[in-house]
Amino acid sequence: MPWKKKVLTPARESTIIRDGKTYPLFYCKLIRYQWVFVCKYCNAYHRHGALPGHVQAHCTNRDSPLIKTGYFIELETDNNAQM
């Protein structure tokens, strides 16, 4: 039987404009003091320090467009989950 990687549910995402450039924004969950989201390009969890803002991509998928741009992270809350 062929080995099949489990497909994770990607994080909810949005976009954010900074200095005229559009960046992806991913909503994270707080897990053990880190912000964690599922990257749709890597089908993997990426963990970051618990601070909103722009971060370097943690992508292992070399084809991920995020490697060039980085992305923004924000903590998912009940408020922004409605957006």
Write out the residues near Zn ion by the rule CB under 5 A. 39, 41-42, 59, 64
Please identify, using beta-carbon distances, which residue of 62 and 82 lies nearer to Zn ion. Answer: 62
Whether residue 28 contacts residue 37, with contact meaning beta carbons closer than 8 Å, is answered with yes
Length of the chain (residues):
83
Smallest distance, Zn ion to C-beta of residue 79, A: 26
Please identify, using beta-carbon distances, which residue of 62 and 79 lies nearer to Zn ion. Answer: 62
Cα–Cα distance, 72 to 46 (Å, whole number): 12
- Beta strand residue intervals within the chain, DSSP E: 13-18, 21-31, 34-39, 44-49, 53-55, 71-75
Please identify, using beta-carbon distances, which residue of 74 and 78 lies nearer to Zn ion. Answer: 74
Smallest distance, Zn ion to C-beta of residue 78, A: 26
Smallest distance, Zn ion to C-beta of residue 23, A: 14
